[in-house]
Structures are given as C-alpha cells and as structure tokens.
C-alpha cells in the first residue's frame, strides 16, 4: 500500500512541477487528453503494434475527448515531433502513429525514475 501512495505522490509531484524546459513532459501532462493519447500510443509502440485514429477513438471515452480533440492532439504531437505519422505499406489511406525517439525516451526515463513505486 505504501508503494501505491508513493507512486501517486510522485505522479502528482511530476504533474505539478513540470519543468518548463522539458517540452516532452509539458506536452504529456498538458491535459488528460494529451496524457491518454500519449499513453495509448506509447503502449502500442512498445509492443510494436500499429495504433490508428479509430483505435484511439474507441479507447478514449467521449467524456475525456471528442473526435476533434483527439485529432487536434495528434496533429499537435506530430507538429512538435512527439508522434510520428506512418502509413501501412498495403494501405496508404490509413495512417497509424508511433512515438518519436525523444518522447519514448522521456517516458522510459520517467518510468525508470518511478520504477520502485510500481512494485
């Protein structure tokens, strides 16, 4: 139980004290929509699974984000180079999304910093 409390306190601290120079964390914690989309894309990127807009739309409740908000966060993430938009070899009409190396590295480092709190 103490590790859960420790994790929650660290998570709150990270959100509240975002380093203004860390553009990756600033994007990640910008809103619940940014966080949810980033975590969904990170999860799929880690297991090398392709995640597209329809998958994001089905996993993010409409109470958190509308279709338009999801698209806006995706476009912002692509523009700021947190996400990479790719196309399937067989179907160039259906893009999917991956994490950029720098964004993936930030999430990995954040996990490693908090790893002891997950156990």
b or e along 19-29 (b: 16 or more beta carbons within 10 Å of the residue's beta carbon)?
eeeebbbebbb
pLDDT at 91: 66
Domain count, the chain: 1
pLDDT at 8: 73
Kindly report, residue by residue over 27-60, the tens digit of the pLDDT: 988 899 999 999 999 999 888 898 999 999 999 9
In this structure, the chain runs to a length of: 119
- CATH number reported for the structural domain that contains residue 110 in this entry: 1.10.10.10
| Residue 100 lies in domain | 2-118
* Positions of the chain with pLDDT under 50: none
């Amino acid at each position: 139980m103490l590790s859960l409390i420790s994790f929650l306190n660290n998570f709150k601290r990270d959100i509240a004290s975002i380093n203004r120079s860390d553009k990756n964390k600033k994007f990640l914690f910008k809103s619940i929509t940014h966080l949810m989309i980033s975590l969904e894309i990170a999860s799929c990127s880690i297991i090398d699974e392709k995640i597209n807009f329809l998958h994001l739309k089905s996993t993010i409740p409409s109470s958190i984000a509308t279709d338009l908000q999801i698209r806006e966060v995706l476009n912002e993430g692509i523009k700021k180079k947190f996400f990479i938009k790719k196309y399937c070899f067989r179907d160039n009409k259906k893009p999917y999304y991956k994490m950029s190396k720098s964004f993936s590295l930030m999430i990995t480092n954040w996990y490693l910093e908090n790893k002891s709190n997950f156990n």
